[in-house]
Amino acid sequence: MHIHQLFDLKGKVALVTGGGRGLGEQIAKALAEAGADVVVCSRKLDNCQQIATELEEMGVRSLALECDVTKQEDINRTVAEVIEQFGAIDILVNNSGATWGAPVVDMPLEAWNKVMDVNVTGTFLMSQAAGRHMIERGYGKIINIASSAGLRADPPEGLNAIGYSTSKAAVIHFTKDLARKWARHGIYVNAIAPGFFATKMTKALLEKRGDAIAARIPLGKIGDETMLKGAAVYLSSPASDFVTGQILSVDGGSTL
């Protein structure tokens, strides 16, 4: 197979959660550039509709759906609608995420639960729903968005968000465990662990301490809107057909 074919996603259908902004938007556009039809979903439908319009202008089919990944009925409806309108789900990107910064002793239980519900339970529920369809077809690529925060323990002055880091560590093990269980069904399960990227979620922190954060990263820079695209396409495409259960760090070397 030619190298261009290995990274070609024409004829594939991708579902990207949290696809209306930030890393989800970047991933959705990368998959579209590689030829995939892309459905984007999140709680904020307006954001997704704007991205879906931009994706269609790139020459692929797209659809925006409202979906709260903490609600099983929303997930089941979303998966069913994608299959009805596009015929299949070949690629699932579990990108929806939440965070909450607070010292451990001040972390409200409701904040902890929210982060866990979105980042861990949401990833499980969406994988479960799409996975049933993928098992029937004998094929699927699932990409979970973890974080470098799930691979290391930060000092409080670095990242004081224990619920977020714990949830992303859970996503990392979930990825490995699910990959082991579903390999026999032709389903690949991998994760990307981004480091610091310039997004709405990190904007306030980077405005205050961006230079100091970049200085601690071996490559000396913060991730931009192009730096996640290659990893997303690789794990979605035939190029990664002998790769499963792996965590690809895209973090400028910050977890070394």
- Is 164 a residue of the active site? yes
Q: Which amino acid, one-letter code, is at 121? A: T
Q: How far is CA 28 from CA 24, 52, 108, in A?
A: 6, 9, 33
Phi, psi of 40 (to 5 degrees): -115, 140
Q: How many residues does the chain have?
A: 256
SS (H, E, C) the chain: CCHHHHCCCCCCEEEEECCCCHHHHHHHHHHHHCCCEEEEEECCHHHHHHHHHHHHCCCCCEEEEECCCCCHHHHHHHHHHHHHHHCCCCEEEECCCCCCCECHHHCCHHHHHHHHHHHHHHHHHHHHHHHHHHHHHCCEEEEEECCHHHCCCCCCCCCCEHHHHHHHHHHHHHHHHHHHHHHHHCEEEEEEEECCECCCCCHHHHHHHHHHHHHHCCCCCCECCCCCHHHHHHHHCHHHCCCCCCEEEECCCCCC
Q: Computed over its alpha carbons, how large is the radius of gyration of the chain? A: 17
Catalytic residue among 139, 164, 188, 234: 164
Catalytically active residues are 164
